[in-house]
Amino acid sequence: MIAYVTVGADDLPRARRFYDAFLPALDYGLSEGPEGLSYTLPIPPGQAPVLPDFYVKPTFDGRPASAGNGAMVAFEARNQEQVCELHAAALAAGGTEEGQPGFRAAYGPRFFVGYLRDPQGNKIALFSSNPDDPARDG
């Protein structure tokens, strides 16, 4: 199981504006400190933490942050409507378009996804495969 994902950011206020546009809607809470932004899911009383956590941090070596070529972080939305809403909110908060929400022929008939990049260039996917939503061929 993946425990956490970390992406680098040179401008934390700009990164926060971007990630705050959609992560709270996916139930992530934020704690912010000198080490960066920590987005975590709530822990129900008496239960283990829900993973993965998502961190946005300055680089440890002090060199500029860079996006990984071929790296992407995907967040699951509740349904197709939420994918569209959060994709639009993230773009309005400083993201750049990398693929409008919709179905992709290469994926299953229920995989609805939108792609974008955060202000640092990290690729983000927002997707849903909710069985209650329409399928690609339906």
Residue 110 has pLDDT above 70, yes or no: yes
The per-residue pLDDT for range 7-49, each reduced to its tens digit, is 999 999 999 999 999 999 999 999 998 899 999 999 989 998 8
Cβ atoms of residues 6 and 39 within 8 Å: no
Residue 14 and residue 27: Cα distance in Å, rounded? 20
Is the bond preceding residue 64 a cis peptide, omega within 30 degrees?
no
Q: Please check the confidence at residue 79 and state whether its pLDDT lies above 80.
A: yes
Mean pLDDT of 87-108: 96
CATH number for 40: 3.10.180.10
**What is the count of structural domains for the chain?**
1
pTM of the model: 0.93
Domain ranges, residue 28: 4-128
133 in a domain, yes or no?
Answer: no
In a domain, 137, yes or no: no
Q: Is there a domain that residue 134 lies in?
A: no
